[in-house]
Chain A
Amino acid sequence: MDKKKSGLFKPVIVLGLISLITAGALGCVNSVTQKPIAELTEHSRDNAMREVLPADSYVETSVSGVYSAVVGGESVGYVVETAPNGFGGAINLVTGIDVDKITVTGVAIISMTETANLGTNADKPEWRAQFAGLSQSAALSKDGGTIDALTGATITSRAIVDGVNGALRLVGEVS
């Protein structure tokens, strides 16, 4: 009877203790790294916004994810955050849109988990430059548009096109 009990409880207790210690250690590491990670994310988001549409400050509008770019108290356009699904998960990108709400001023990627050296080439300035100056909506050249896809599979390229079109749609909702 006694033997059976210990045979049942020992594994539970050992596994529980190991999990507890691991969780504690993770908590310690997290408390150290939390601040730098948050700062880095904020920093890269800020950089991306400044790249697509330079402004003094970015004020959130009534539509979530849409920021109004303000220079000297006046709105010069919008910066929209979208997260379309690429090949390896969500691609977090910002799209700059002119005050007319139809002209794209630029696209920048905050973070992505696309295939290295294939999908990640979307971050190259030459490729992203194709979006600047577009109006109404974007489309790949394969679909009769003007954007040259990165690869034949067009998964990442299509995701970013979707993200930009989504941004244009969102801006339209801003009153």
Chain B
Amino acid sequence: MTVKKTFLQGLLANNPVLVQLLGMCSTMAISTSLFNGVGMGVSVLIILTCSNVVIALLRKIIPSKVRIACFIVVITGFVTMVDLILKAFVPALSSSLGVFIPLIAVNCIILGRAEAFAAKNTVLLSAVDGVGQGLGYTLVLTLISVVREFLGNGTFGGGILNGGEGFRLLPSEYPALLVVLPFGGFLALGSLIALVQYIQKRKTRNNGGEAIAK
């Protein structure tokens, strides 16, 4: 039960981007094509799960005075490993995400989960939390990427499908470059947060209504 709950928390109810509003910088900067969105999401998922597991393992050994320093050492270790592995084996993704892979080290989602969850919970729960939160992040990035790529570039799946060109859905004179800029990122993110809040509020209101009717 708690495993399932922990996992689902990350997807929607306690989504890192939509509810905790963490990791804004990377969300704005790289969610411009499907390839970038999914690649960044999966990288964060792997790093978050690994760092959560290690920090949960060490949670009883780490003195609270130096815990942040210890967390950062563990996190940057994993970030650098992922960066090196991507550079060696997935160079296309590495050159496309550029500096944002090393910057995962200071992504507040990772440190936030280490401090708020992994430092207080078992290894199993922390791993589940890492996967759930990572998937939640990936989901949001993918969604924003698809919208921004469509409106700003007129394509779908740029960088990965159709030989890297993506499928053109809009003729190239229509897309608004503005959407690819951070401005468009904030617009897309704001709309998505509003939508999710609306759906959740309606759900609780409906549930409340039923309870009263009963």
Contacts and interface: CB of A to CB of B under 8 A. Distances in A.
B73 A33 contact: no
Interface centre among B80, B88, B97 (most CB of A within 10 A): B88
Contact of A26 (B61, B77, B99): B77
Given A40-B91, A88-B98, A116-B97, 16 more contacts: A10-B63, A12-B66, A15-B66, A15-B70, A18-B62, A22-B73, A29-B85, A30-B84, A37-B87, A37-B88, A40-B88, A88-B99, A89-B99, A112-B98, A116-B32, A116-B36
Nearest to B149: A117
A6 to B, nearest CB: 10
Nearest to A120: B96
A70 B98 CA distance: 34
Interface of B: 29-30, 32-33, 36, 58, 61-63, 65-66, 69-70, 73-74, 76-77, 80-81, 84-85, 87-89, 91, 95-99, 152-153, 158, 177, 180-181
Interface residues of A, number: 30
A14 B70 contact: yes
Contacts of A26: 77, 80-81
A33 B181 CA distance: 34
A46 B129 CA distance: 45
Contacts of A62: none
A1 interface: no
A88 B30 CA distance: 13
A26 B177 CA distance: 40
Shortest Cβ-Cβ A-B pairs, 9 listed: A22-B77, A113-B98, A33-B88, A36-B88, A11-B66, A33-B84, A11-B63, A29-B81, A117-B32
Interface of A: 10-12, 14-15, 18-19, 22, 25-26, 29-30, 32-33, 36-37, 40, 44, 88-89, 111-118, 120, 151
A18 B58 contact: yes
B74 A22 contact: yes
Contacts of B177: 118, 151
A117 B84 contact: no
Nearest to A6: B63
A37 B36 CA distance: 21
Nearest to A32: B88
Contacts of B99: 88-89, 113
B81 A18 contact: no
Given A14-B61, A26-B80, A33-B85, A117 B73 contact: no
A116 B96 CA distance: 7
Contacts of A19: 73
A111 B63 contact: no
A116 B30 contact: yes
Nearest to B81: A29
Contacts of B84: 29-30, 33, 37
A15 B69 CA distance: 7
